[in-house]
Structure 1
């Protein structure tokens, strides 16, 4: 559908007259005759159905409608001028909009993003975080990092990271426990319970064929509070390895068990985008970078068990 715009030359004449308050000066600036400028102005007023100027002491004064119109038209010309100067001066950048879950952005993406910016300085990143998937064709989103194992048919799907729940504690607590060889190491340990976790201690113990009463312990309705409590040595938390990565990286938390015993995989993070976006340079560069980062983070493990490729 074509835009219903008035003649652009008429808008340019209007802006010049409003700025200079003179038809003759506007004509000189645009290298036209005063009658040609006046003709363009009349054409614009006819198109809009309003009067834009009145004369006062040989000057052109804007009407109320003209002042309102100039605010929008003037700012549009300013943006065009600024964009043109940026392009002509070699300062243009490409904006890449990334959508991801709120927990993934601060825990995993943001701590690494400096590496991408240094590698690709002409790309500006815009990161949006929300739990709901986006509609690519109704937003300006270029790529999305999604969580789960749904069937995202119709999209390019790149596996990134498995997400596992595992018992985590402070190094001091781990030292007191020693080298645990089974779930019974938690028999007398205070447990930290995340009330909103998709899988809790009850399910973890059942998977390890171990029974323990869970009536006692610290309860939190936010995962980050459970992680903070564990880092303070208040007990053992069962939390996401992706969500807890900043704590693990800083050494404030450690895994209580080796991954092959302690980890319970609950989902995966994947990169998705529409097939028409394939081949767009900024998307290809981001894909290469984040795939490399995730491979380094998980030692080459893929999310193949979720059949996302």
Structure 2
């Protein structure tokens, strides 16, 4: 058998290539930056050529790196599939699922007992990393993401359509006398970091395209956005279902206007992942359940 480079080096290479960041890859692999660099050096020493161009703090795939990624990624996925099949021989199936925290707490976890009753041998490992679509085939088998559009190379199912609400605390709504959208000019607006288009869509739809609030604060967590709004730290521009599902008496919706969101929740995976029993079981249940 021909000699191969260390599997750990290949894993580190693929993580950096997929995540686009050595720092993010080191975090995913629970490695220090020097340890990650050693793994990449071992791969490059084995190949006798660099696979990344080093630019300041960034590592960018060069032509040889692109060719290597295209060549080994299918083989690594096939290896992962084989291990999954073997590990399921005893009747237990495991799904590695990427889920955003707010969807997980509000919509998925409360319904999982239903799935457990139907398929008691199915076990789910949950990863709440952002941009889980970039981890498909590596860290996770499938993911539930929120996006305005999905990479056409992925298999995807839209899980909902939503309206955008302006959400804040009862106390702030009363004390600041927030009666019309124009009144937000003196308020802090809270926007999710992964949904940058949502505030523009909302203010255009309510007839205030030039509305400039006192500040716009970005938060990368839906639960934290709701908590910030409940504590009067600003007005959250987010999906109405998040308010409804929160069932938080501290929160209220401002302004009786319907604004369609440019974002939806999607189930995504690589097309070949649907051949995995755990992915197929979860996919079919999720779509049928209309969570």
TM range, smaller chain: 0.5 to 0.7
Q: TM-score, normalised by structure 1?
A: 0.50
Query: Which runs of structure 2 are paired with 1:57-96 in the superposition (5 Å)?
Result: 87=90, 92-96=91-95
The question of 1:289 aligning with 2:285 is answered yes
1:126 aligns with 2:131: no
Range moving further from structure 2, 119-128 or 278-287: 278-287
| Cα pair distance change 1:96/1:213, threshold 3 Å | closer
Output one character per residue of 1:152-204: Cα deviation in whole Å (capped at 9) or x when no partner. 334332111235431113456678999x9xx7366379634126451465653
- The alpha-carbon deviation at position 251 of structure 1 amounts to 4.2
**Residue in 2 that maps onto 1:22:** none
TM-score by length of 2: 0.52
Q: Determine which structure has more spread, i.e. the larger CA radius of gyration.
A: 1
Shift of 1:101: 4.0
8 A contact 2:188–2:213 mirrored in 1 = no
Q: Distance in 1 between the 2:151 and 2:255 partners?
A: 34
Mark the CA change 1:193 to 1:123 in structure 2 (over 3 Å): closer, same or farther. Answer: same
Question: Counterpart of 2:266?
Answer: 270
CA distance in 2: counterparts of 1:236 and 1:150, whole angstroms: 26
* Equivalent residues of 1:157, 1:273 under 8 A apart: yes
Q: CA RMSD in A?
A: 4.3
Cross-structure match for 1:240: 239
Secondary structure at the aligned position of 1:286 is classed as: helix
Query: Which residue pairs with 2:203 in the alignment?
Result: 205
Gaps of at least 5 residues in structure 1 are: 5-82, 298-309
Tell me, yes or no, if the aligned pair for 1:96 and 1:123 is still in contact at 8 Å: yes
Residues 1:207 and 1:283: Cα distance change in structure 2 (over 3 Å): same
Match of 1:110 in 2: 109
Worse-matched range after superposition: 219-228 or 283-292: 219-228
Partner Cα separation in structure 2 for residue 266 and residue 252 of structure 1: 27
8 Å Cα contact 1:146-1:269 kept in structure 2:
yes
- Contact kept, 8 Å, 1:177 with 1:185, in 2: the verdict is no
Are the equivalent residues in 2 in contact too, given 1:201–1:238 (CA < 8 A)?
yes
Check conservation: 1:171, 1:252, Cα contact below 8 A: yes
Report how many residues are paired. Answer: 204
In the alignment, the residues of structure 1 paired with residue 169 and residue 100 of structure 2 have an alpha-carbon distance, to the nearest angstrom, of: 26
In 2, distance between residues paired with 1:121 and 1:171?
A: 43
CA contact (8 A) 2:228 2:234 kept: yes
* Alignment match, 1:152: 151
Partner of 1:187: 183
| Structure 1 pair 128–257 and aligned structure 2 pair: CA distance change class (3 A) | same
Residues 185 and 214, structure 2, Cα contact 8 Å, conserved in 1: no
Q: Structure 2 stretches of 5 or more lacking a match?
A: 5-85
Q: What corresponds to 2:253 in structure 1?
A: 255
Deviations 1:69-112 (A, max 9, x none): xxxxxxxxxxxxxx99x94xxxx421111123455434543343
Deviations 1:258-295 (A, max 9, x none): 5xx333412122112233343544323212322244x3
CA contact (8 A) 1:160 1:291 kept: yes
DSSP 3-state at the match of 1:147: strand
Distance 1:105 1:269 in 2: 12
Q: Is the 8 A contact 1:227 1:239 kept in 2?
A: no
The corresponding residue for 2:230 is 231
| Whole-angstrom distance in 1 between the partners of 2:165 and 2:236 | 8
